[in-house]
Amino acid sequence: MSKVLYSPGLEGVIAGRSAICKVDEEKGELLYRGYPIEELVEHSSFEEVAYLLLYGELPGKSKLKEFCNEITDDRDLPKEVKRVIGCLPAKTHPMDVLKVIVGVLGSIDPDAQSNTEEANLRKAIRLIARIPTIITAHYRILKGEEPIRPDKKLSHAGNFLYMLKGVRPEDFESRALDTSLILYAEHEYNASAFAARVTASTLSDLHSAVVSAIGTLKGPLHGGANERAMDMLLKIGGPENAEDWVKRALSRKQRIMGFGHRVYKREDPRTVYIKKVAKELSEREGDMRWFETARRVEAVMAREKDLHANLDFYSAPVYYLLGIPIVLYTPIFTASRVSGWSAHVMEQLAANRLIRPRSEYTGPERRRFIPLDERG
């Protein structure tokens, strides 16, 4: 075996080929199936983007309507799944709830034993449809409230807000969440997508791959950053406190969540669009406090550390202004990214080779075994 250079965290290592997403760190460009993220944010919906990721092409009107109908028809949860949610311990983390319930859904899915592309497309659509229902049902049960049944007339984003709060959202609220779902839907070989592909490469099933991805996304260095970013903004309390708070945190070598990115060396191209949403939502709500606080933090981080805000940072005030509890920020990431994970699973299976890298051994060289009686 020839010597291969070691890269911590596989940074910069090309681990596979994919036609799903292009991240151009030099240009600061993000493409889904060749389409620039800015055009998708401006002109499409999450449902349209999910179709694009799963099928490889944008849908026509009839195909999109059919796809949306499939999602709305599958939003409700089977009775046995609802019972499991109700039996989970009250302190169960929402991401652990998702792992458990996605696993249960995998065991009862009508296509459970099939790994064909057609079966996986059906399973992916059912997961896209049901994950928002799982998130909101568990949260409402936790609060001692009845889960709200999905509304077929509402968009994916609008239905989530309705099931969470019990009030049909304004169009601008649905669009704000929809934009974040588009931006979070896919991002090349990120940690959770890679975890899903590793699982799929063993010829395991789509639900198992998604459970692997959810467990990976739960970590604060991947999916939990927006939760910690909002916690930080609340601790800062307002824009007038931002500079001193951030400087003190930096002097203590404290990590400021929502800044920097493993791939992007400059600004995350998604940030400009979620920042715009945060500003517009703040203006509509008549509450600029959290947007201005975030803006001040961003300025200090750019000046002091030459680090730029990523998607997670401005997602935090967007979700907060939408009245979404902080503990649900990462589950919402899941509700979006499951579309990208499913696309990766199917792409992996289409030209599969077991993902089995090597490690560079750093232990002792060959040693003589000493019998137990001679070891003292």
The catalytic site residues sit at: 261, 312
Q: What gap in Å lies between CA 329 and CA 171, rounded to an integer?
A: 20
Distance CA 123, CA 198 (A): 19
Cβ atoms 299, 154 nearer than 8 A = no
Main-chain phi, psi angles of 83, to 5 degrees: -65, -40
CA nearest neighbour of 90 among 144, 131, 23, 130: 144
CB 280 within 8 A of CB 291: no
3-state DSSP percent of the chain in helix, strand and coil, to 5: 60, 5, 35
Distances (CA, A) of 295 to 76, 246, 258, 302, 359: 39, 12, 12, 11, 43
| Rounded-to-integer distance, Cα 352 and Cα 355, Å | 9
Q: What is the DSSP string of 122-169?
A: HHHHHHHHHHHHHHHHHHHHHTT-PPPPP-TTS-HHHHHHHHHHSSPP
> Residue 83 is which amino acid?
R
Tokens of 169: 């959202």
Q: What one-letter code names the amino acid at 357? A: P
User: Measured between alpha carbons, how far is 46 from 155 in angstroms, rounded to an integer?
Assistant: 9
Q: How far apart, in whole angstroms, are the C-alpha atoms of residue 330 and residue 130? A: 16
Angle between helices 329-350 and 46-55 (to 10 degrees): 20
Map tokens 């319930």 to a residue: 101
Token code pair at residue 27: 């240009």
Q: Which amino acid is at 117?
A: E
Bridge partners of 259, per DSSP, are 309
Angle (nearest 5°) at CA 313 between 132 and 327: 40
